[in-house]
Amino acid sequence: MRSGFTLLEMVMTIALLAVFAVKITSVIDTTTKTTESDIMRTTVDAQARQVLRQIGFAVMGSHPESLDPRMPAPLNQASLKYQVNLGISDGKVVWSDAEEIALEEGRRQIYWSDNPDAADERRVVWTSLVAPYLEGEIPNGMDDNGNGLIDEKGLSFTIAGQAISMKLTLEREREGQEPLVTTVETVVTCRNMVEGWARAE
């Protein structure tokens, strides 16, 4: 006849419970980390798409001859100046002041600027997560990621006629893990081949 647990049984039960508790905690930890990581990835992905869309909308209304610089592939550029069509006044097209979208490499930022280099320049930062080089690219004089461009930066424009190709890699550091990297690209066509384009003073 037995009543209750022996000391040995009690010790074993407590030990087993402890093991379960540790396992459950580690499962919860992993789940939390995965969720945080997923949220971060979604945020970086969304920001990359948003910034690319903003750049696309900004340059879409420009005149192709206003694009500066214009380097043929495989050369490419991490900045672009342009002027957009603001509308018609007295039968003439009114062109905007020069605007610029550029990568500020030291700060990993893309900024939009109105009147670049002028005393009254205005700047707005669109993202601060730009990778130094496009995904898969390292500075070695070669095209490491096979996209036809050599040593392209985290923001890269290529211009061919009216088409502006743009590529963007965002990179977010993570503690104790590989950084999160997202690359997006698109091509937009300048829609303002109208006569009477004049460079801003």
Residues engaged in binding Ca ion (CB under 5 A): 137, 140, 142-145, 147, 149, 151
Least separation in angstroms between CB 154 and Ca ion: 12
Measure the CA–CA gap between 180 and 174, rounded to whole angstroms. Answer: 7
Other CB atoms closer than 10 Å to residue 175's CB: what's the count? Answer: 4
Q: Rank residues 3 and 140 by Cβ distance to Ca ion and give the closer one.
A: 140
Tell me which H or E stretch contains 17: helix 7-60
Least separation in angstroms between CB 19 and Ca ion: 51
Report whether 55 contacts 170 (CB < 8 A): no
DSSP annotation string for 166-187: EEEEEEEEETTEEEEEEEEEEE
Q: Rank residues 97 and 144 by Cβ distance to Ca ion and give the closer one.
A: 144
Measure the CA–CA gap between 27 and 144, rounded to whole angstroms. Answer: 39
Q: Rank residues 105 and 121 by Cβ distance to Ca ion and give the closer one.
A: 105
Q: Rank residues 85 and 156 by Cβ distance to Ca ion and give the closer one.
A: 156
Least separation in angstroms between CB 151 and Ca ion: 4
Q: Rank residues 84 and 103 by Cβ distance to Ca ion and give the closer one.
A: 103
Least separation in angstroms between CB 119 and Ca ion: 37
- Residue 113 makes CB contacts below 8 A (sequence gap 6+) with 99, 100, 101, 102, 121, 122, 123, 124
Question: Sheet harboring 79-82: ordered strands across?
Answer: 79-82, 99-104, 109-114, 122-127
Least separation in angstroms between CB 126 and Ca ion: 23
| Nearest one of 27, 116, 195 to 19, comparing CA atoms | 27
